[in-house]
Structure formats: C-alpha cells, structure tokens
Amino acid sequence: MIFSDEELPRKPAPLFTPAKLDGLGAAELSAYIAALEAEIGRAREAMSRLDAHKAAAALFFKTPDQA
C-alpha cells in the first residue's frame, strides 16, 4: 500500500532544542546549567506526581484476590 506524505505519521516536535554554546562565557554557561537543572527538577516532580497517581489508581482498582 502506498501512502502520500500527508497520510504518514508525523514525528513529534522535539521537547528540547539545545542552545548554541559557542561564544558563551563561564557565567553564561553556569546560568544555562542552573536553568537546565531547574527544569530537570520540575520534570522529576511531575514524574513523581504521575507515579503517585498511578499507585493510587492501582490501589483503588485492586481486586481482593490481588492482596
């Protein structure tokens, strides 16, 4: 079966595009690293919330024979 380009699944847009680091000084690189670390922390918190939600749902839908 032949598909046109419009029918093919599209790749999702990247969530992160790395910045160009050429020409940045030590202070700018430190600030960039701090911003990335803050974003990583935010992502980890979101994952923790998702894990907690999943665990709560698993407990809620647990059947007596799974105890």
Rg (CA), the chain: 21
- Classified as helix, coil or strand, 9 is coil
**pLDDT given for residue 51 in this prediction:** 96
CA 43 to chain centre: 6
Give the Cα-Cα-Cα angle 46, 62, 60 (nearest 5 degrees): 50
Per-residue pLDDT of the chain (67 residues; tens, 9 = 90+): 566 667 777 888 888 899 999 999 999 999 999 999 999 999 999 999 999 999 999 988 887 776 5
- Residue 1, pLDDT score: 56
pLDDT computed for residue 55 by the predictor? 92
pTM greater than 0.75: no
